[in-house]
Amino acid sequence: MGAFTNSRALASARHIADPQPTNARTEPVWIRATLIAITFAFLGVFILWPLLTVFHEGFSKGFGFYVETFKDPITIKSIELTLLTAAIAVPLNTVFGLAAAWALTRFKFRGRQLLIALIDLPLWVSPVIGGLIYILLFGRHGTIGPWLMDHNIQIVFALPGIVLATTFVTFPFVARSLIPLMEAQGHAEEEAALTLGANGWQVFFRITLPKVKWGLLYGIILCNARAMGEFGAVSVVSGHIRGKTNTMPLHIEILYNEYQFAAAFAVASLLSLLALITLFLKTYSESRTAQQLREAQELTIVSK
């Protein structure tokens, strides 16, 4: 039991348990090469090429025109709205995701599994439904609608509705990223911190949070990317009021419908740029999270 206290011993133990050398492969080289080539071709055609087309079309009327597109006040308003929506939805979901992950991994209670499944709900339903939910709740004929009308509160077809719909569809990302990580890390360190005199907040900020920081970042990045790019749910609750309730994705559709193709792709290229940055950040934080997860699991194997 005491033999596996360092990773070298662990590795050698694994080797003993599984004698098949892990470097040699049984497939011939040409199969490997073909598979790799197919993967690159797939990526190239379905991801790289459309992305390049977006930028190409966006610049098709010249760099000056590209810049002019972003000076249009309605376009600027749509960018502002997208940023504002993300700025509200992402922190909300971060706080919620942290709280949910913490409660679900630190307490055992009935219905825990059901709650974990429910958190995933926004990922299963069509985004359109995500928007319709709010119409059914807050629309003129909705559950709380009449009360809102009487008190002159506008939720759907205005900013609050857009934020709600966006929050709904991006709900699970932070929680899903944190739950397996916190589950694997266990709460021994948190208990140790308690015995050393740290109160709840100190445990959270000094122990819990730093341990999950890469997983948290990963979740936030995904949440943000989706929040900025969401179309379906927002389209249902937006009302499409020009210069007021059109986010970037909606605005791109409008530009496209007005035959302003170069402008539409110019704005789309901004979203694509965001996607690329997100991809880069995501890859980096993902590898760090995986590393933390591995370390936590190794520690668990060690303790068994």
Residues that bind other proteins (CB under 8 A): 1-3, 5-6, 135, 138-142, 145, 149, 152, 154, 156-157, 188-189, 191-199, 202, 206-207, 210-211, 239-245, 254, 256-259, 261, 295, 299, 302-303
Long-range contacts of 38-45 (CB under 8 A, 24+ apart): none
93 contacts 170 by C-beta, under 8 angstroms: yes
| Neighbouring residues of 289: CB distance < 8 A, sequence distance ≥ 6 | 177, 181, 214, 215, 217, 218
CB of 164 to other proteins, least distance (A): 14
Question: Would you state the structure tokens that stand for residue 137, as one six-digit string?
Answer: 């709740």
Listed residue (173, 195, 208, 224) closest to 292, CA to CA: 208
Question: Distance (Å, rounded) from C-alpha 68 to C-alpha 91?
Answer: 32
Give the nearer residue to other proteins in terms of CB position, either 276 or 299.
299
Question: Distance (Å, rounded) from C-alpha 193 to C-alpha 202?
Answer: 9
- Locus of tokens 């993300």: 86
CB of 11 to other proteins, least distance (A): 15
CB of 284 to other proteins, least distance (A): 18
CB of 24 to other proteins, least distance (A): 30
Give the nearer residue to other proteins in terms of CB position, either 232 or 243.
243
CB of 241 to other proteins, least distance (A): 5
CB of 48 to other proteins, least distance (A): 22
Give the nearer residue to other proteins in terms of CB position, either 35 or 209.
209
Give the nearer residue to other proteins in terms of CB position, either 80 or 258.
258
Question: Would you state the structure tokens that stand for residue 289, as one six-digit string?
Answer: 């999270």
Give the nearer residue to other proteins in terms of CB position, either 34 or 154.
154
| Neighbouring residues of 132: CB distance < 8 A, sequence distance ≥ 6 | 236
What distance separates the 2 farthest-apart alpha carbons in the chain? 74
Give the nearer residue to other proteins in terms of CB position, either 125 or 136.
136
